Structure 1
Amino acid sequence: MQNSEIPASRRGFSVSGLGEIAIRCIDFDAMVRFYRDVVGLEVLAERGTGLVFFGLGNGVEGHTSVLALFAADRNPDLGVARIEGSTLHHLALSLSQADQAAACRFFESERIPYRTEEFAWIGWRGVFLSDPDGNTVELVSAGWPVTP
């Protein structure tokens, strides 16, 4: 039996939410501006030069979900460096349908390119755009398609 086939009750735990996404940035300042000014995330903390945490909302049992941006040269001794050809597919941030529609209006007014895709099999709709380092960012909401 593969690990993914083992029910949570047998494993004794299940993942309850997102804790943190950490991105080592090529252009740190542009990435901070993008996630703050375009995506609209609130800065939770700035930890010296080259490290910013954005709050992503309520997490699990008091652990706030965060997006952490690291400058490429921050803490190189940790052995965590940007890997060429990263396997990061995309990161998805959840929001309401109303906020997703507002985001699209904002992107259009600012001429920020994006695309949408509906996932009827699960009832989600994603709005996709790229951050300054070329990572795909999805703003996802549930309850799609909306029927009038």
Structure 2
Amino acid sequence: MPTPEIPASRRGFSVSGLGEIAIRCIDFDAMVRFYRDVLGLEVLAVRGSGLVFFRLGNGVEGHTSVLALFAADRNPRLDAPRSEGSTLHHLALSLSQADQKAACRFFDSERIPYRIEEFSWIGWRGVFLSDPDGNTVELVSAGWPTRS
């Protein structure tokens, strides 16, 4: 990875965590069921029809990290641009090793397809599956043995 051109000390700020992931959903109801019932995310708020916020974690200085799902035909903010050809590769949600193993057991029992990839260079393991809109979701856990 290249060295940053401008170090954080010179910029005067650095990103401290994930604030929000927002997805415009093709099948809104199926997406809500997936993130709520399959992945077990806690609903933080429902804002009318076609807009649900899920809690991801405590975030930074009181800003809760969230996953926001919007119905494709809903425009939550008129000034928010809509990406026509998304370049989203995947979204990754962190969890403990024990919870990652439990997720795999649950996926097996429900016959939900997934794959596991180990990133030995950094000691991470990812469990990859697809949401109903075809986005790749990774459940990532640290602390797995690294190999030289």
Normalized against structure 2, the TM-score is what? 0.91
Change (3 A) 1:11 1:71: same
Aligned to 2:110: 110
2:134 is the counterpart of 1:142:
no
Aligned to 1:64: 64
Q: Deviations over 1:111-132 (max 9, x none)?
A: 0000011111111110000000
For residues 1-148 of structure 1, the aligned pairs below 5 Å read 4-75=4-75, 78=78, 80-81=81-82, 83-84=84-85, 86-145=86-145
Structure 2 stretches lacking a partner, 5+ long? none
Instruction: Name the Cα RMSD after superposition.
Output: 1.8
Greater strand share, structure number: 2
For residue 7 of structure 1, report the CA deviation from its aligned partner. Answer: 1.8
For residue 82 of structure 1, report the CA deviation from its aligned partner. Answer: 5.2
Q: Deviations over 1:60-94 (max 9, x none)?
A: 0000000000000112772643524x200000000
Tell me, in whole angstroms, the C-alpha distance in 2 between the residues paired with 1:3 and 1:143.
25
For residue 143 of structure 1, report the CA deviation from its aligned partner. Answer: 0.5
Normalized against structure 1, the TM-score is what? 0.91
Tell me, in whole angstroms, the C-alpha distance in 1 between the residues paired with 2:105 and 2:99.
10
Among the aligned pairs, what percent are the same residue? 87
